[in-house]
Amino acid sequence: MSQNKTVPTGASVADFLATVEPERKAVEAQELDALFRQTTDFTPQMWGPSIIGYGRYHYRHATGREGDFLATGFSPRKACHSIYIMPGYQDYGAILARLGKHKLGRSCLYVNKLADIDLEVLAELIRTGLKDLNVIWPVQPS
């Protein structure tokens, strides 16, 4: 059975944030880190080379596949910020309608710049995602 490719690395979140480019993305990454810390009350941890995760959960599927994954987090990519809300966005239409300009993936929200969204609504989305995830798989601190 295959293992997750995205795993905790033990790398420094602060060191990673210091390497983010361009400058606007670096400033926004610091803002997102502060928002996630305040909203989740979790200490962040690097998952893979570029994802900052807050909290974790252990999953076990009916197929027998199991593992650990970040509960929520983000990756400050050059083109846009990737924001991870588990277990996905299928039930969050009312919140997303108030968020502002974004695109969706399965469990990923893409935002070009933070000025395009309402950060209070993003915090609400993070809290809601963690609450819903915790019903399925208990969320633990990182």
* Per-residue pLDDT tens digits for 38-81: 999 999 999 999 999 999 999 888 888 888 999 999 999 988 99
How far from 138 is each of 17, 59, 64, 76, 106, CA to CA, in Å?
Answer: 28, 9, 18, 26, 20
Q: What pLDDT is recorded for position 9?
A: 94
Phi, psi for residue 124 in degrees, rounded to 5: -60, -40
Residue of higher predicted confidence among 13 and 91: 13
The residue ranges of every structural domain in the chain are 13-132
Residue 31 CB neighbour total at 10 angstroms: 13
Q: What pLDDT is recorded for position 62?
A: 87
Q: What pLDDT is recorded for position 15?
A: 98
Which residue type does 122 have?
A: L
Q: Residue 2 pLDDT more than 70?
A: no
CATH fold of the domain at 13-132: Aspartate Aminotransferase, domain 1 (3.90.1150)
Token pair of 121, please?
């609504």
